[in-house]
Amino acid sequence: MELVKKFLRGLFKGLDGLRKVLHLSLLLVIFGVIVGGLSSSIPKLVNDAALVIRPVGEIVEKPSEDAFNRALAEAQGRGTGETVLRDLTDAILAAKGDSRIKTLVLEFDEMSGAGQPTLDEFARAISEFRRSGKKVIATGLGYSRDTYYVAAHADEIYLDPQGRVVLEGYERYRNYYKSALDKLGIDINVFRVGTYKSAVEPFIRDDMSPADREASQAFVNSLWETYVGVVAKARGLKPEDIRTYADTLAPQVKLAKGFTAKVALDANLVTALKTPLQVEERVIALSSKDEETESYRSVTIKDYLRVVRAEDKNAKYPDSRIAVIVGSGEIVDGDGGGGVIGGDETAEVIRKARLDKDIKALVLRIDSPGGSSTASEKIYRELLAFKRTKRPIVISMGDLAASGGYYISAPADEIWASPATITGSIGIFALFPTAPRTFDKLGIGVDGVGTTPLSGELRIDRPIGPDASMLLQSIIEHGYEEFLARVSLGRKKTRDGVHKIAQGRVWTGRDALRLGLVDKLGSLDQAVASAAKRAGLAEGKYERDYLETDKTFAQQLLTILEAKAVALVIKTVGVEAFGGFGFGTAASLDGPTRAAVLAARRDFGPIERSVSRFNRYAVPGQIYAHCFCTPY
């Protein structure tokens, strides 16, 4: 018996020792992961290299996915289906004065598109790079409307002999759900102000209203005119040359027996027809040859940014900073998340800027169709608090700054927009679905009693009552007057003057300038420079500080650990382990095919987004300032 006890005690000690060793090993692994995650090696940048810009998916102001999903995509070796605009412009402008970079190479086969103002920011950076005397080479199997807008600003544009240039113009088509909702027995009760406030039309009509058709045709025409003018100027052509090419492409290609590349060449849209190998030879001549790869020496944008941002860590003017806050996506209540503007989160960042005395001005970059009125009001109030500190606020509008996006622009000292920015849409709405017909079809009766005229009037199984309708419409009308008052105050206009150009009407930046809704047309850089000037800062004697919500060390660490764990699993069992989570569709595709898949996701996305918006908007008592005005 004593022998058994000794054996068990020895076994227990052995197991306890093994436990301690395993715990220590685990701690060492975690420590290694932390160190590896928080510190990454900086790539070595070769001399006489070409900086290769290869945008993937849609170009966006901010990532639409959260940090973990982006890290997961990186761990799987796939892109997120989008490229951040700031990364593009930062890399190109840094390369302008970098003696190690000899050439800029633009490859567009994986880019699916962007709004025209976003493309314009991209193109402006390319034009600035060209002022250094270095060459910009654009290459691709084909160019769409959006990719060609950027490519047109290159010194040389090369098209694969089997490629094409298709300038499809702008359109605005939406899905309409009234008949479908009727079949389901669902009634959509709408409360709105504004002849042109068409955000709710998909739920109450089967086609576009005459007012919406008028406004939509006006702004897509304006976008196309701006596009034609910019592209023609960049290529040294006349605007009618671009229009003729777009209008007659089909018959011209037929005459050319399907040789689309030759049609583009004959129209002077491209410099020459070259295969990828021939393009490589041209870039080698402009930079240098990599003997190992038999191609040109190059650096990717990802590696280049790691180098230049590491070299530029120390601020030269820490006590003279211009805060830049990027608000991208729909405006929602709460903290938001990837791809949306959270009212609480954005207000917190603005407050952070207000409390920092070294921040001399605030630039709010907006790319938003609007959304929740309450969230917009929170942001508006925090901007007013910043303004009371006597420091300037400048708005820079991106692709969209409409409805709620314009609401939060109202307190600014100055508003900048692109000529193609979609803005205005000053109006609000509310909707509430009821489905008494559905209950009737199911044979379910509804009856009962209440204590006030509003009792039971906001139930989904009963028709909305007259008192509830009166209440909601009154709230909407009051909200519209509040909207007009904020714009009147900020723009120094009369209420009636704003009302005349409001009513939910959408305007392009060029029209908004004429109407006094914006002050100047230009880029984010110009808006920042203007804010600095208003703050009394000398040119170049300030820092641009992009502010975001502070994340705790624990939050950052958790994201790193999760991503590292995923990477380990992928290395161990393969990417297929994550196939069930829908991550693999576009990852295995390359080049134009992948770009087409990403573009298709964008095109089919409106149905999914409409359902999501409906879920958010169908809340009794909530009002929204939203514009469904994105052109494709």
Catalytic status, residue 403? yes
Flag whether 630 is in a domain: no
Domain assignment of residue 235, given as a range: 49-172+223-310
DSSP designation for 414: E
306 and 322, same domain (yes or no): no
Of 310, 337, 370, which marks where a domain is finished? Answer: 310
407 and 526, same domain (yes or no): yes
Flag whether 593 is in a domain: no
| Residue keyed to tokens 């302008």 | 96
420 and 488, same domain (yes or no): yes
Flag whether 41 is in a domain: no
Question: Which amino acid, 583?
Answer: F
Q: What is the pLDDT of residue 32?
A: 56
Specify the number of domains making up the chain: 2
Of 522, 546, 570, which marks where a domain is finished? Answer: 546
Of 489, 513, 546, which marks where a domain is finished? Answer: 546
The 3-state DSSP class for residue 107 equals strand
306 and 321, same domain (yes or no): no
324 and 400, same domain (yes or no): yes
419 and 506, same domain (yes or no): yes
Q: Find residue 430's DSSP bridge partners.
A: 191
| Residue keyed to tokens 């405006």 | 331
Flag whether 420 is in a domain: yes
306 and 325, same domain (yes or no): no
Catalytic status, residue 13? no
Q: What is the pLDDT of residue 580?
A: 42
Residues 493-503: pLDDT tens digits? 999 999 999 99
Q: What is the pLDDT of residue 584?
A: 42
Q: What are phi and psi of 61, to 5 degrees?
A: -70, -40
Distance CA(498)–CA(493), nearest Å, equals: 7
Flag whether 355 is in a domain: yes
Flag whether 191 is in a domain: no
Residues 6+ apart with CB under 8 A from 581: none
Q: How far is CA 27 from the centre of its chain?
A: 40
Q: Are 271 and 237 in contact (CB under 8 A)?
A: no
CA 171 to each of CA 118, 168, 209, 212, 247: distance values in angstroms, whole numbers, following the listed order: 18, 9, 16, 13, 14
Flag whether 147 is in a domain: yes
243 and 330, same domain (yes or no): no
68 and 113, same domain (yes or no): yes
Count other C-beta atoms under 10 Å from residue 46's C-beta.
13
Q: Are strands 422-424 and 506-508 parallel, antiparallel or unpaired?
A: antiparallel
303 and 321, same domain (yes or no): no
The residues of the chain scoring below 70 in pLDDT are: 1-41, 65-80, 550-623, 628-632
Q: What is the pLDDT of residue 290?
A: 86
Considering the candidates 403, 409, 418, 523, report the single residue annotated as catalytic: 403
Q: What is the pLDDT of residue 158?
A: 98
Q: Maximum Cα–Cα distance for the chain, whole Å? A: 103
Residues 6+ apart with CB under 8 A from 490: 409, 410, 411, 412
Flag whether 596 is in a domain: no
End-to-end CA distance of the chain: 84
138 and 233, same domain (yes or no): yes
The 3-state DSSP class for residue 26 equals helix
410 and 533, same domain (yes or no): yes
Q: Are 365 and 324 in contact (CB under 8 A)?
A: yes
| CATH code at position 354 | 3.90.226.10
Name the pTM for this structure.
0.83
Considering the candidates 62, 134, 135, 197, report the single residue annotated as catalytic: 197
Q: Find residue 106's DSSP bridge partners.
A: 53, 138
Q: What is the pLDDT of residue 600?
A: 52
